[in-house]
Amino acid sequence: MLKVHLVEDETLFAKSVARRIERDGYEVEISATVTQAQLSLENGLPDILLLDVRLPDGSGLDLLREIRMRDDNAWKTLAVIIMTAYGELDDAVSAMKLGATDYLKKPVDLDELMLTISKVLANKQVKQKLDYSHLRDSQLVDKTTLIGSSKAVTVLRQQIVRIAQLVDKSTDTHPVVLIRGETGTGKDVAARFYHQSGSWHDKPYVHVDCASLPNELIEAELFGYERGAFTNAHQAKPGLIEAAEGGTLFLDEVGELPLELQAKLLNVLERRVVRRLGSTKEITISAHFVAATNRNLSAMVAEGSFRSDLLFRLNILELVLPPLTERGDDISLLVVHFVAQISRRYGLSPATLSADALAEIQQYTWPGNIRELQHVLERAVMLCQQSVITSTDLLLQTQAATNNTTVTSDKVQFEQMKLDDVEKYLIEQALLRNHGNVSQSARQLGLTRMAMRYRMDKYQL
């Protein structure tokens, strides 16, 4: 059970606040003086300290200063909400400078108090998750890099580093970076490389897959919500945009966003503020925005499924990732990197490739680009004998033969089918290939998720 420690000398008010807090399922402890609070805190810290400024034996601000001066990180990060009398704005300002998490004016509205407690706890949970992510990322053996010596990758790498350096010098709003490329070309890797190339590399990196979030949840996930904003919104929750504060928000497959959310995203990019669902308050944000897509956004604008003004806002700095077949000798470098990485992951001796396996890899067309190469090599490393990968371990000939057989079979069937039958068949096959994943199937067919859902309902799939 979450614990709130209330430091308040007005007995009736303290009991009223405690009853309201306990009603929402929190444990409450009350101290009437600074001395009592100090003794209690030494015995164990609460989740939230609710602290009055005017106390019989001292000032709550002095106690707050003492808490923030402790060497222990648990004391430094303790959530403290200051309560100050109406009109004593200087106390509130001083409290925030000393590191208060939030403040409330007396007389305190109990519903506002509970909303503030919920918001503070939600932000604390998000920060804990992000701190864990930072620690985990800092311990990674392999830092993100763009592997390759081809001209396309060399130029791309130089462009990303230059953009990051210029953004570091800018005192104005950070420009949006748009990354285009086929599925599997490494758009997330390019976004992470951009994040790590800037001075904000130690701040959060938040990856949002716009295609995988359900339509009914994506707005709440992106923008956050206040308590009571909708059914089951029992406490406030910051959205992913807020979670990326100071760092990078990567909007993967941005072309899959519903039209109504595109307008809200445009407002965020233009004004750099976000408003949670159910709130009238706007929160200023300073995240670096990176968007990516494998779709033709200009064509989507023409067909009315993507906003032209959002495209203009996204398309300020565009980076294009080439398909793997256009990267020449980069394939060999990627093979060496992935084999070493995969071998290390499974505690195996580094595998080597036979001459026939390497030749087959060079000749294969790689429709799934780098992602397909990585998956093929992972399977091969796990199946190979004596740490030598042969062409048999790759299974590329079997895969290519299967694809050719399917194409021939499809051609025969299509000649005997009507247009609706062909469309239904293609949708069925895409869903089968992707194990029912609607978003992935839609992308392969060149459809939006909404258009895919419409056709599935039409054909009762």
Asked whether residue 140 is assigned to any structural domain, the reply reads no
- Tens digit of each residue's pLDDT (9 = 90 or more) over 329-369: 899 999 999 999 999 888 888 889 999 999 999 889 888 89
pLDDT band at 438 (very low <50, low <70, confident <90, very high): confident
308 shares its domain with 333: no
Burial class (CB in 10 A: 0-12, 13-18, 19+), 40: middle
Q: Is residue 138, in this structure, part of any structural domain at all?
A: no
Alpha-carbon distance 29 to 18, whole Å? Answer: 8
Would you state the pLDDT for residue 1?
A: 67
Backbone angles phi, psi at 167, to 5 degrees: -65, -35
Average pLDDT over residues 222-241: 85
Q: The domain containing residue 37 runs over which residues?
A: 3-121
Q: Do both 290 and 222 map to the same domain?
A: yes
- Tokens representing 334 are 């990627």
Q: What is the pLDDT of residue 340?
A: 92
Q: Residue 309: how many CA atoms within 13 Å on its side-chain side?
A: 10
Per the CB < 8 A criterion, the answer to whether 96 and 64 are in contact is no
- Do 200 and 308 belong to one domain? yes
Calpha distance 33→9 (Å, rounded) = 7
Residue 338, classed as helix, strand or coil, is helix
d(CA 362, CA 396): 11
Domain contains 176: yes
How far apart CA 261 and CA 303 sit, in angstroms, is: 17
Q: Give the pLDDT confidence of 2-20 residue by residue, as tens digits.
A: 899 999 999 999 999 999 9
How far, rounded to the nearest angstrom, does the alpha carbon of residue 151 sit from its chain's CA centroid?
31
My answer on whether 160 and 61 are in the same domain is no
CB-based contacts of 374, cutoff 8 Å, min separation 6: 338
Task: Examine the pLDDT at 132 and tell me if it is beyond 60.
Answer: no
How far is it, in rounded angstroms, from Cα 414 to Cα 425? Answer: 9
Query: Which of 290, 322, 354 represents a domain boundary (last residue)?
Result: 322
**Rounded to an integer, what distance in angstroms lies between the CA atom of residue 39 and that of residue 141?**
44
* Tally of domains in the chain: 4
97 and 31 in a common domain:
yes
| Main-chain phi, psi angles of 455, to 5 degrees | -70, -35
Helix, strand, or coil (residue 249)? strand
Q: Is the model's pLDDT at 134 over the cut of 70?
A: no
Q: What is the mean pLDDT of residues 41-62?
A: 92
Examine the fold and report which residue of 322, 348, 380 is the final residue of a domain before the chain moves on.
322
Tell me, yes or no, whether 99 and 206 share the same domain: no
Flag whether 61 is in a domain.
yes
pLDDT score at 250: 96
User: How far apart, in whole angstroms, are the C-alpha atoms of residue 275 and residue 281?
Assistant: 6
Whether 139 maps to a domain, the answer reads no
User: Looking at residue 308, what is its pLDDT?
Assistant: 95
How many Å separate Cα 14 from the centre of its chain? 40
| Cα gap 196→239, rounded to integer Å | 23
CATH number for position 350: 1.10.8.60
- Residue 228 belongs to domain with CATH number: 3.40.50.300
Distance of CA 16 to the CA centre of its chain: 40
Largest Cα–Cα separation, the chain: 91
Q: Alpha-carbon distance 244 to 223, whole Å?
A: 11
353-358: list long-range contacts, CB under 8 Å, 24+ apart.
353/388, 353/389, 354/388, 354/389, 354/390, 354/391, 356/390, 356/391, 357/389, 357/390, 357/391, 357/393, 357/394, 358/332
Which DSSP letter does residue 173 get? P
Q: What is the Cα–Cα distance from 315 to 310, expressed in whole angstroms?
A: 8
pLDDT in the model for residue 271 = 93
CA 442 to chain centre: 22
Clarify whether residues 97 and 231 are in a common domain: no
CATH number at residue 421: 1.10.10.60
Do both 160 and 260 map to the same domain?
yes
Q: Is the pLDDT of residue 304 over 70?
A: yes
User: By C-alpha distance, which of 99, 112, 125, 133 is closest to 47?
Assistant: 125
Q: What percent of the chain has pLDDT over 90?
A: 48
Angle at 121 between CA 15 and CA 37, to 5 degrees: 45
Same domain, 312 and 337: no
Task: Please report whether residue 292 resides in a domain.
Answer: yes
Distance CA 104, CA 102 (A): 7
| Residue 368 belongs to some domain of the structure | yes
Domain assignment of residue 87, yes or no: yes
Take residue 51 and report the two structure tokens written for it. Answer: 């602290």
Q: Residue 252's beta-bridge partner residues? A: 209
* CATH number where 96 lies: 3.40.50.2300
pLDDT at 174 over 90: no
Angle at CA 163, nearest 5°, toward 159 and 164?
Answer: 120
Among 282, 303, 322, where does a domain finish? 322
Calculate what percentage of the chain has a pLDDT beyond 70: 90
Say if residue 291 is in the same domain as residue 235: yes
Question: Are 266 and 331 in a shared domain?
Answer: no
Look at residue 397 in the predicted model and tell me its pLDDT.
57
How far is Cα of residue 264 from the mean position of the Cα atoms in its chain? 17
**Is the same domain home to 298 and 158?**
yes
Q: What is the pLDDT of residue 61?
A: 92
Question: With contact defined as beta carbons under 8 Å apart, do 321 and 186 qualify?
Answer: yes
